[in-house]
Each structure stands twice: as structure tokens, then as C-alpha cells.
Amino acid sequence: MKQHFTRQELEDELVGMSEIAELLGWSSSRVSVYAAAKWAGMPEPVAHLRRGKVWLRSEILAWARERGWLRDESPPAPPSLPRRESRKNFRRGVDER
């Protein structure tokens, strides 16, 4: 585990229960139950703040991945646009009708 983070890396790496719920597609209350009961070996939080516990995103993702709970991390690629020549040929075909 990395020990020193830049400010931006910390902002990206630290997650609370709401962010974990979003990552896993769970409700915040389900995350809360797992965290309180330490079910399924959920990683320990790295800090307890007034607003709640925080975890390292990388540890949560590794934990969820090991159990097959992780939703697809990458959004689908946007459809590719046709090449310019294809569009011209398509238009010609439409115009010829």
C-alpha cells in the first residue's frame, strides 16, 4: 500500500460509505452493516472522522473484486462515428433514391 499521497491523490483515494455504495451499486445502509459487522473481511477504515469512517478506494475495490461484487468499472465506449467517406457514400445512396 502506498504511504504518501499528494492532495489530489488523497481526494481521489479516500472514500466514505456513500462512495463505496456508489462503487458497488449497494445502498449506504448495506455498506454500513458490512462495515459495522466487519462481514466478509471488509477492510478496516483508515480514519474515523466526525463525518464518518473513510477507507482507501484501492482496498475497497480489491476487496470487492476478490468477492465478485464489483460492478463494471468502465463505462461503455461511445459509439464511433462513421468515417467521413462513409457518410458521403451514405448520403449519395440516400439522395439517389
Q: Domain map of the chain by residue range?
A: 9-72
Q: What integer pLDDT is reported at residue 45 of this predicted model?
A: 94
Q: Which residue(s) pair with 87 in the sheet?
A: none
Q: What are phi and psi of 56, to 5 degrees?
A: -85, 125
pTM score of the predicted model: 0.65
User: For residue range 4-56, what is the model confidence (pLDDT) as tens digits?
Assistant: 778 888 888 999 999 999 999 899 999 998 898 877 789 999 999 999 999 99
pLDDT at 14: 93
**Angstrom distances, CA of residue 32 to CA of 8, 17, 28, 71, 80:** 26, 7, 6, 19, 41
Give the pLDDT band (50/70/90) at residue 92.
Answer: low
| Per-residue pLDDT at 56 | 94
Q: 33: helix, coil or strand?
A: helix
Query: Which CATH number is correct for 9-72, 3.40.50.300, 1.10.3470.10, 1.10.1660.10, 1.10.10.10?
Result: 1.10.1660.10
Q: For residue 55, give the nearest of 32, 88, 75 by alpha carbon.
A: 32
